[in-house]
């Protein structure tokens, strides 16, 4: 039987290459971040293009929304710990995200973007989306708590190990996309989708609790997490397991939301009408 640890190199061997800057000057972020920037820009464009006859939101408004999604969670946590957010020290990531969005939406390249989500597009992008979300909820949020490099890092406790990835992934994106309609022509305040009845059932609302819990339970015992599945996996292997599970979740969501629905038969319609 193949050990799960045999799949750990899928993470340790390939992730560094994905995070290595594409170009030291013109694109100082990795391929994974470039994909994330394109993906976010496409999603923003879908919303911003649905203007219902009104002028589209300004480029500055859209860029501001993207920066809130990108840095909101990190900035909030930085305020709690007294650590300056990364965009104050090195804004390269935000600048590239902004440049990519302007390039895709304010140049002739805009015509190449899909006008709305489709089953084929969402299904194809479900795998890289799931991998990126897994890394955010484990490698970039939980692991720094387990291996602090600054005395100002939050202590590893069950609450911080769950709330930090949640804060990084959910509340600011929820406020921007549905709580304020920040990418629409007119900003309006309303209840974010995640806080509406049954909003908690959305994948984006509960996955930030499930994946970190699974990741920590797979590598336990670790400081701050008393629960263990008895597997004693390495962090690399646990991230691979979480990514595999998350791919299933994201592919299932793409199928549920965008798969072509079977047309009702004329007989069924007639019975319903009667």
Mean pLDDT by 10 residues, the chain (274 residues): 75 83 84 95 93 91 97 96 93 95 96 89 94 96 94 94 97 95 92 91 94 96 92 93 96 93 62 52
pLDDT given at position 20: 87
The pLDDT value given to residue 263 = 64
Supply the pLDDT for residue 34: 95
Phi, psi of 260, deg, nearest 5 = -60, 130
- The structure tokens listed for 103 are 């390039």
d(CA 95, CA 28): 10
Residue 30 backbone class (left: φ over 0; alpha: ψ -120 to 50; beta: rest):
beta
Domain ranges of the chain: 16-115, 117-174+201-274
Question: What pLDDT, on the 0 to 100 scale, is given for residue 12?
Answer: 81
As a whole number of angstroms, the distance between CA 136 and CA 173 comes to 14
Question: For the chain, what's the residue count?
Answer: 274
Whether residue 204 contacts residue 170, with contact meaning beta carbons closer than 8 Å, is answered with yes
Predicted confidence at residue 266, as pLDDT, reads 61
Tell me, what's the pLDDT at 264? Answer: 61
pLDDT at position 272: 52
**SS3 state at 27:** strand
What are the phi and psi torsion angles at 186 (to 5°)?
-120, 125
Q: What is the pLDDT of residue 269?
A: 53
pLDDT given at position 1? 45
Q: Determine the Cα–Cα distance for residues 43 and 97; give it in Å rounded to an integer.
A: 13
Predicted TM-score of the model (pTM): 0.90
Supply the angle between the helices 158-169 and 203-219 in degrees, to the nearest 10. Answer: 140
Helix ranges (DSSP H) in 196-234: 203-219
C-alpha 120/C-alpha 90 separation (Å) is 37
């Amino acid at each position: 039987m193949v050990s799960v640890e045999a799949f750990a190199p899928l993470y340790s061997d390939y992730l560094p290459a994905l995070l290595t800057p594409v170009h030291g000057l013109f694109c100082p972020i990795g391929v994974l971040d470039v994909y994330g920037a394109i993906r976010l820009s496409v999603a923003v464009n879908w919303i911003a293009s649905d203007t219902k006859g009104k002028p589209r939101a300004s480029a500055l408004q859209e860029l501001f929304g993207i920066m809130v999604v990108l840095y909101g969670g990190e900035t909030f946590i930085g305020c709690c710990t007294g650590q300056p957010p990364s965009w104050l020290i090195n804004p390269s990531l935000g600048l590239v995200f902004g440049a990519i969005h302007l390039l895709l939406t304010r140049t002739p390249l805009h015509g190449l973007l899909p006008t709305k989500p489709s089953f084929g597009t969402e299904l194809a992008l479900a795998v890289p989306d799931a991998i990126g979300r897994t890394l955010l909820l484990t490698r970039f949020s939980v692991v720094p708590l387990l291996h602090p490099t600054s005395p100002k890092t939050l202590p590893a406790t069950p609450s911080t190990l769950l709330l930090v990835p949640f804060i990084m992934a959910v509340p600011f994106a929820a406020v921007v996309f549905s709580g304020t309609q920040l990418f629409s022509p007119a900003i309006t305040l309303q209840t974010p989708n995640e806080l509406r009845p049954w909003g908690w059932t959305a994948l984006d609302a509960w996955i930030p609790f499930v994946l970190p819990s699974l990741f920590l339970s797979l590598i336990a015992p670790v400081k701050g997490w008393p629960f263990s599945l008895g597997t004693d996996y390495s962090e690399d292997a646990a991230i691979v397991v979480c990514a595999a599970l998350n791919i299933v979740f994201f592919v299932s969501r793409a199928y549920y939301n965008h798969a072509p629905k079977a047309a009702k038969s004329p007989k069924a319609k007639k019975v319903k009408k009667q």
